Structure 1
């Protein structure tokens, strides 16, 4: 595999992981605004490297006007934006990143010093653990093609 393909796959995986993490953290309000802005900026930069300007425009919903079937939800527009650059490296980044998010969420629950820990951290932990296992299945399946 060429270095350019590997770089595009790695950055596509980072972009998807960043936007999924951003979505989950926004849902449970478990991170400060500065962290959310940093994750969003990193994910957008990775998306720009992976798919270029058209991928960023597609995520923002400003793709070609001929696409009437463009999803309205911003996270659903992410998959078509990174489709051309997705490969085994992207699966690897997504799998490892989701498991790291799971471990971090459970660690946040364990080390929480307040009275009522955030229930959202448990949700993020379990969702990212299950999604990491699903992603591992796709990673293993792509190795045998």
Structure 2
């Protein structure tokens, strides 16, 4: 595999990981607005590197996708936008990143200074762990193709 394909795969994995973590953090309200904005900028930059302007436009709902996709859920538009750039490196980045989020969430629960740690950290930890295991299955499957 060439270096260009590896770079596209790594940035595609970073983009998906960024958007998934942004979604999780928005749901559990476990991060400040500046952290959320930083993740959104990083994920969009990685999306632009991996898929170019057409991928960014597609995620924003302005791309050449069908009208049905344009009105759907914003997170569901990420996968079709990165389909051409997705490879084994993207699976690896996604798996390791999701497990990193899970470990960080559980670490935040253990080291929380107050009496009642936020339930959102536990939810984020378990969701990231399960999604990381699912992503591991795809990574292993792609190795045998």
Interval containing the TM-score (normalised by the shorter chain): over 0.9
- Aligned counterpart, 1:68: 67
Structure 1 Cα separation of the partners of residues 114 and 34 of structure 2: 22
Offset of 1:96 from its aligned partner? 0.1
Look up the SS of the partner of 1:84 in the other structure.
Answer: coil
Structure 1 Cα separation of the partners of residues 67 and 33 of structure 2: 34
Structure 2 Cα separation of the partners of residues 97 and 141 of structure 1: 18
Structure 2 Cα separation of the partners of residues 21 and 135 of structure 1: 14
- Aligned counterpart, 1:114: 114
Q: Which moved more, 1:12-21 or 1:68-77?
A: 68-77
Offset of 1:37 from its aligned partner? 0.8
The CA RMSD measured in Å over matched residues stands at: 0.9
Structure 2 Cα separation of the partners of residues 43 and 96 of structure 1: 16
Runs of 4+ in 1 over 3 A off after TM superposition: none
- Aligned counterpart, 1:38: 38
Look up the SS of the partner of 2:68 in the other structure.
Answer: coil
TM-score in terms of structure 2 length: 0.97
Q: Which runs of 5+ in 1 are unaligned?
A: none
Look up the SS of the partner of 2:74 in the other structure.
Answer: coil
- Aligned counterpart, 2:123: 123
Structure 2 Cα separation of the partners of residues 13 and 41 of structure 1: 15
Q: Which runs of 5+ in 2 are unaligned?
A: none
Aligned length: 144
Q: Which moved more, 1:71-80 or 1:21-30?
A: 71-80
Offset of 1:116 from its aligned partner? 1.7
Offset of 1:47 from its aligned partner? 0.1
After TM superposition, list the pairs within 5 Å mapping 1:29-108 onto structure 2. Answer: 29-64=29-64, 67-70=66-69, 72-108=72-108
Offset of 1:69 from its aligned partner? 2.6
Offset of 1:115 from its aligned partner? 2.2
